[in-house]
Amino acid sequence: MLNIAIAAGILLFAAAGYIAFMNSKLIADKKREAYIPPPASEYTVYMTPQFTEEDKRTLSPIGVMEFRDPQGLMKVYLCRVKNESEDLKLEQAGNVFLHHLTKARDTGTLMFYRTVEEALQGPEEKSLTDRLSAAAKKKARTE
């Protein structure tokens, strides 16, 4: 009788283990199915004295700098493009923007750089704008 009880206990524990394993697998599959990666975005660097409402329909700025130009104040925007286009990947657009930023900083014409925090999507954009902020704060190179 004791042997039957031990065998029944072992079967119950084995069944409980199998059910727990299947449940965790089911939960992992549901989480994987629920994750929707953000769509691949295209980016551009947009230079203008004034960002208009028309620009806001197609571009979402994630970083902006202003510098003094011979024609007056100019703004450079690092933007996510809202519609499908053949623009730049994030790193490429970041490098173009960084070029403008360091040139303005080094010549002393940089007025400010600002990250548009509320527009950031994902860790890649946050990382890039952190690097741009650090570059804007660096002292100009003296040669």
Answer whether residue 93 is part of any domain.
yes
**pTM: predicted TM-score of the whole model, two decimal places:** 0.67
Answer whether residue 59 is part of any domain.
yes
* 64 and 125 share one domain: yes
- Tell me the average pLDDT of the chain: 86
Range(s) of the domain holding residue 61: 42-137
12-23: pLDDT as tens digits: 999 999 999 999
Average pLDDT of the residues in 105-134 = 91
Answer whether residue 8 is part of any domain.
yes
Is residue 36 over pLDDT 90? no
* 68 and 124 share one domain: yes
Residues 6+ away with beta carbon under 8 Å from 2: none
Q: How many domains does the chain have?
A: 2
* 78 and 18 share one domain: no
* 55 and 81 share one domain: yes
Rg, C-alpha atoms of the chain: 27
Residues 6+ away with beta carbon under 8 Å from 64: 75, 76, 77, 78, 113, 114, 116
* 3 and 58 share one domain: no
Answer whether residue 142 is part of any domain.
no
Does residue 90 contact residue 32 with C-beta atoms inside 8 Å?
Answer: no
56-97: pLDDT as tens digits: 888 999 999 999 988 889 999 999 987 766 668 888 999 999
